[in-house]
Structure 1
């Protein structure tokens, strides 16, 4: 059976404007999240720390982010995206102001934790808003557009940020970024509507905040095979480009490859531009042909194994003609990871989409946190051997790919069984030789 082609219904201009207003908070969050990727060496000098302590900035922020994904999904389902995004903007602005004035390592760590908390509230809120405003088949396009728009924050946190740090300096640059984010919270309160017809989440769509109800909500989302596939999709595809952008890309290019700081920042920009350009195309493909989405995921994982094999086996300095295509391919992990959100949207009821999206989003950030920490520790132990340190990402890629295949087969068995019963399913499947027997 060829990939199923699904016609797209279209949301109105008002929904697009509301989505864009909300997505700007995500742009700001990405800027704050990735700013240390360029400012890492300045941070090490400013606070007098080594590689392991430097990695702790990113690890702490990402650990807070990952830990907050499921609670954020529950909060968004309960209070609505507008309120949660407003709080997110306030936390992001406060955290960046603290980063600007921090004169000690402990205070800077606290600031990154606050940033991580604000960051954690953004993406799921935007996707939950999109689920309210856009039809199911248009949702993957909006999700990938959100990611592509977020890459504008990545771009601002590469060469432009490096130039600002070299000009006005650390304090002025980060104070301005924090103040701008604090001011934008008022725009979110004014312009964002939780649904096309209501300013706040309708009462009949709000979940309970009791411990028992939250546990049930999370357990129900996790029990869905499609959610599990989404989790491992996000885990396996997103972490490599994130680790390079957030922390270890510039140090690797400067210290292991002998590149200048500005050239290294420009190479990291390749990750951002490649993902930004390909994101909408990936969204269009998985929105129009849902059966193609796991083909894209598996294809990316196979290509990532080849890419890391080339980078880590190259003797000496990797030429730009090899380095740039390798980084550009790894960048595709960002757009491909949005397949996980489409799975969460398709296989969960609308009142549980925020929670399921939180579960899926946690996957990539758990992987990023572990990889960033592992690289820092190995660098510390080996005196800066990036080839050995980056093997941690290869090991995680193999492990995650295996778990993804296990749950993909289980999810296909469940969908095939539902088709056999005559139930409606989001994507029609054709049984293959590798499919497991349907569960009885």
Structure 2
């Protein structure tokens, strides 16, 4: 009888997670549609490259700004309500985008879409924290990110075929309406807590209390380590996939459009394959989490050194493939940051801490994308290999900053774990002292 009940609860948890993951997949799909529809958007709204890029920067900037409020909303009102609002906003934004023809209204539509997108990932991870034991959190967070990457794949060839066959308005109206309608499924099937769990009731909180909750999450060394790990790992492949990868490959490297598309698709495939792999590793060996992050960052620096330092600027295709394959691991590696937020914060604050961590990567995407665009507009000739080599140094600068801060907070987080263990407190992960830990002050 007990086994039957546990099996039922496990199936129920997986069902709720799967329903929630579909919202995140839809969010990634909507976020990346302009990768294929960009040229049509330019013609529809009468835009040049700089104005067209504003669509992406606006969405990512809003995503970053919304992460801490999203965490607070999830902790206060529950993941089901927030996910429902997310589906409605994304559907509304895409429906509006389907019918408008003016640039300001197009920006408004993408802003609404971006806010809905921003509400999804933290909400899904909050459900994972509520329904699954901590030891499974890292694997499920990584798998969630990998499944979300399928939305990126759907927004490439299938979306291109749909646009070509039925046109702009029908394509975006249909996808927007389907997303909004999915809110009904969320209301009927998703619950914030497992059956029998009694969540602590919370009275409405003052602004001072809310800000105090954010400060507590930020002051936790594990949260700060997660922030910088997320900042460092996910931005480069995302920035390439969303805006500058295609121009770099076509204009600077001389690849044809199909070859450039396939190479960018490698970033998505790497995320899909790497997510479950890294999740499985860190679930069984949680002490490997931050070393994996640092190892990836050192490898990414090596890739950029080769790509930007190649004599003549035109990198052989085989080297490009290998380099993009390494960079594609950044997305899966970024899920380690959420495991850190989950382990080092109480459950009542996990949503807030996850939001704080999620800000990191999207701030880095926004800063690096803007910096590359500004530098490209300065260096001449525009779009040349030399211009891209100089502009993409901004990516290296962001990566070096992230590696430095990740290293600093890795040591501080380890020191906090050792102090807690010395006081006899339970710690989420047992780690062994190293010689460099003794140098911490």
The TM-score with structure 1 as length reference comes to 0.93
Whether 2:245 is the aligned partner of 1:249: answer yes
The aligned counterpart of 2:398 is 396
C-alpha separation in 1, matches of 2:96 and 2:190: 27
Once superposed, what is the RMSD of the aligned Cα atoms?
1.8
Structure 1 residues not aligned, in runs of 5+: 1-8
Residue 422 of structure 1: SS of its match in structure 2? coil
The alpha-carbon deviation at position 411 of structure 1 amounts to: 1.1
**2:29 aligned to which of 23, 28, 31:** 31
Residue 137 of structure 1: SS of its match in structure 2? helix
Describe the shift of the 1:38–1:311 C-alpha distance in structure 2 as closer, same or farther (beyond 3 A): farther
**1:317 aligned to which of 294, 314, 335:** 314
C-alpha separation in 2, matches of 1:216 and 1:272: 38
The aligned counterpart of 2:209 is 213
Report the more deviating stretch, 251-260 or 68-77: 251-260
Residue 12 of structure 1: SS of its match in structure 2? helix
Residue 151 of structure 1: SS of its match in structure 2? helix
Structure 2 residues not aligned, in runs of 5+: 1-5
Report the more deviating stretch, 285-294 or 259-268: 259-268
The alpha-carbon deviation at position 368 of structure 1 amounts to: 0.7
Total equivalences in the alignment: 429
Query: Does the aligned pair in 1 maintain the 2:94–2:176 contact within 8 Å?
Result: yes
1:102-161 CA-partner distances (Å, limit 9, x unpaired): 212111111111111001100000000000000001010110110011011010112222
The alpha-carbon deviation at position 394 of structure 1 amounts to: 0.8
C-alpha separation in 2, matches of 1:262 and 1:132: 43
Report the more deviating stretch, 262-271 or 44-53: 44-53
Query: Does the aligned pair in 1 maintain the 2:411–2:440 contact within 8 Å?
Result: no
C-alpha separation in 1, matches of 2:109 and 2:264: 25
Whether 2:276 is the aligned partner of 1:280: answer yes
Report the more deviating stretch, 144-153 or 165-174: 165-174
Q: What does 1:365-404 correspond to in 2, within 5 Å? A: 365-382=362-379, 383-384=382-383, 385-404=387-406
Q: What does 1:348-359 correspond to in 2, within 5 Å? A: 348-359=345-356
Query: Does the aligned pair in 2 maintain the 1:52–1:377 contact within 8 Å?
Result: no
Query: Does the aligned pair in 1 maintain the 2:313–2:389 contact within 8 Å?
Result: no
The alpha-carbon deviation at position 228 of structure 1 amounts to: 0.2
1:40-62 CA-partner distances (Å, limit 9, x unpaired): 23323332333332222111111
The aligned counterpart of 2:50 is 52
1:230-288 CA-partner distances (Å, limit 9, x unpaired): 00000000001111111222222222223333332222111111110111010011111
Whether 2:340 is the aligned partner of 1:338: answer no
C-alpha separation in 1, matches of 2:54 and 2:48: 10
C-alpha separation in 2, matches of 1:205 and 1:245: 42
Q: What does 1:80-119 correspond to in 2, within 5 Å? A: 80-119=78-117
Q: What does 1:38-437 correspond to in 2, within 5 Å? A: 38-197=36-195, 204-206=200-202, 208-314=204-310, 315-382=312-379, 383-384=382-383, 385-436=387-438
Query: Does the aligned pair in 1 maintain the 2:17–2:128 contact within 8 Å?
Result: yes
C-alpha separation in 2, matches of 1:302 and 1:72: 32
Describe the shift of the 1:175–1:189 C-alpha distance in structure 2 as closer, same or farther (beyond 3 A): same
C-alpha separation in 2, matches of 1:228 and 1:193: 30
The alpha-carbon deviation at position 438 of structure 1 amounts to: 6.4
